[in-house]
Structure 1
Amino acid sequence: MKEKAGSRFAATFTAGLIVAGFCLGQNSPVEKPAEGTAVQAVQKSSLSIEQRGDLMMARKMFREAIEIYREGLKEPNSWVYYNKIGIAYHHLMDFKAARKHYEQAIKKNRKYSEAINNLGALYYAQKDYKRAIREYERALKINPYSATIYSNLGTALYARKKYDEALKAYRKALELDPMVFEQRGTAGSILQERSVEELAKFHYYLARSYAQAGMTELALRYIRRSLEEGFKDRKRFLEDPEFAALQDLPEFQELMKMEIRAL
């Protein structure tokens, strides 16, 4: 059983609302509504509190999202709104307020793995990797089928230079969701950590994970990315057993020959 798509940090908001100007003529420019007008339109819409807040998050209007989510704090599932307020503050880099709301969400629902994961992501952002790992592991005890949490655990282990353990977590994430590292978005209830140091080595480990999973196209993509980021130990791609099945491919051979300038 995989985590529901709507619960992932990478989930895209799909309420079906499109904000567009009136077309005044075939060659006339389309005028975008003012930001305040857009907020008023959302507030007056028939969408739920959560959908309205998610739409503001998708537009990166985080303070407006917070005000909308606050309307849900009296709902029976208030932990959902505490968590989403925490995410909005997280995006605003107000970690104190984010932590307060994540902890309140967990207090309201001790089994709410999304908020526990997000608390881990907050510790990761503060470079407290040990505490981040502890929270991710706590979240996985509740929800062992979350590819996003496994990917976050791998990233925190990577930050502590526990590369073999990180690789194991990444492989588990890919087993649960082959596209877990390819998704983007700002709406949703769960954060996925993307910021890492030593990006070239990180992409090398992702390439290994994809190669191990038999996902050739993505393995090749991350081999290229690792080289573009300045990964120096190119012989690893020839010696690591995970890449053995790729070595006869023309694309792989071309990458090994290319002199790629680091970005």
Structure 2
Amino acid sequence: MEQRVLPYLLLLPATLFLCVFFIYPFLLVAWQAFSEGGSFTLEHFQTMAGHWKFSTAFWNTMLLALAVVPVQIALALLMATLVTRMGSGRDLILYIWTIPLGISDLAAGIIWLAIFEQTGFLNSMLAGLGIIEQPITWLSYQNKSTIFLAVVLAEIWRATAIVLVILVAGMGLIPKEYYEAAEVFGAGPWKRFVRITLPMLRPSLQTALILRTILAFEVFAVVMALGGTNLPVLMGETYVWQFDLQDRNVAAAYALVILGISIAFTLVFLRTLRVPREAQP
């Protein structure tokens, strides 16, 4: 009897934590989004969708995720491969590459603001090289493409380390005998990477993709630091409706949209990168 109950007792703290800090707040947000005066309504979603910033914020968020996540996965794969092949100095290099993990979103945005602002490092460097005569206002409302690029660079610099840590841990679990056997049969580095590393790394890639995609849809502080309201995103609009416009119902509708997009992409990744049952231990 004790052996049957023990797994449930071990799961109880995590279950209670999930109920208190996720399910209960989710139900409150859903109630705010779908209710008005105690009755069911879709008015708040209609207000959200009819607002002129919604479509812009939606596509900006999607484009940011599309621009950031694939680059981060590719960079993290390259960096993780290099780290796992290193002998001496491996821990030092890994430590240096993961320093951005200790920097908050807002701090990362301010760092890149110091690069792109009118008196920042980029203008100083270009002026020193004689390329420009006067400082360029990179982050003005007239240069929205530059704001977008600055946010992409800041996000890649800040959050690639998260993917790197996950992939390094996954590569450490791949038996070295597989590589040795493939090398005996004449498989080159690229073929070993494609036929061994990527298939065995699928669970780690799945986790990294889900985590980074969800965080990409929730980007906020970096955008506020570099672009402010010149680059609307879904999380930024949620903040505006919650605190500036004092409309919690529409803010809740935005939150549910972000949650829905995150769940949809999570299901896609779980389906696409699922591990075949015969390959599971």
TM-score for both structures, normalised by structure 2:
0.22
Q: In proportion to residue count, which structure has more helix?
A: 2
